[in-house]
Structure 1
Amino acid sequence: MAAAGTIRYWAAAKSAAGTAEEPYEAATLAEALEAARQRHSTRPEFARVLLSCSFLVDGNPVGLRGHDTVTLTTGGTVEVLPPFAGG
């Protein structure tokens, strides 16, 4: 069952998406990211940036878990975090 929430983009991901945030309607992180890739298909840098990002779902790091195993919640938040330079 799909959940509805918000994806927030930071730094290079925000620039590549052309927006700071947008809604998701998906059951898993994999589904939400695939829908975002499709929405931004005219921005090829977006898909490239996503490959290097880490993700927080409702404040919890996804780490090495498969994105298809990360369940999303209604009212939840996905943070898309590209690598940051510096300390």
Structure 2
Amino acid sequence: MAAGIIRYWAAAKSAAGTAEEPYSAGTLAEALDAVRDRHPGELTRVLQRCSFLVDSDPVGKRAHETVLLTEGGTVEVLPPFAGG
């Protein structure tokens, strides 16, 4: 299991009520399950529309169970951005 930081942006930050919090998980799926447990409600809905960066690498369409987290790593939670 690795420990690191989850950073929330825009609507995810608002729904979580914080800009960042620690994770302790082996995979992105485990980290997101813990986030859903800590923040039921709006953040759970926002996460369904988010994209993720793990240590600056886009997760894309990869299954979250296959994305390994690193010790001291960072998960960025990015809601869709409105464009103009």
Counterpart mapping for 1:7-22 below 5 A: 7-22=6-21
Aligned to 2:76: 79
Q: Partners in 1 of 2:68 and 2:77 — Cα distance?
A: 16
Q: Partners in 1 of 2:47 and 2:20 — Cα distance?
A: 14
**TM-score, structure 1 as length reference:** 0.95
Q: Aligned pairs, how many?
A: 84
Q: Residue 74 of structure 1: CA displacement?
A: 0.4
Counterpart mapping for 1:26-45 below 5 A: 26-41=25-40, 44-45=41-42
Q: Partners in 1 of 2:39 and 2:50 — Cα distance?
A: 16
Identity %: 76
**TM-score, structure 2 as length reference:** 0.98
Structure 1 residues without counterparts, runs of 5 or longer: none
Q: Residue 28 of structure 1: CA displacement?
A: 0.0
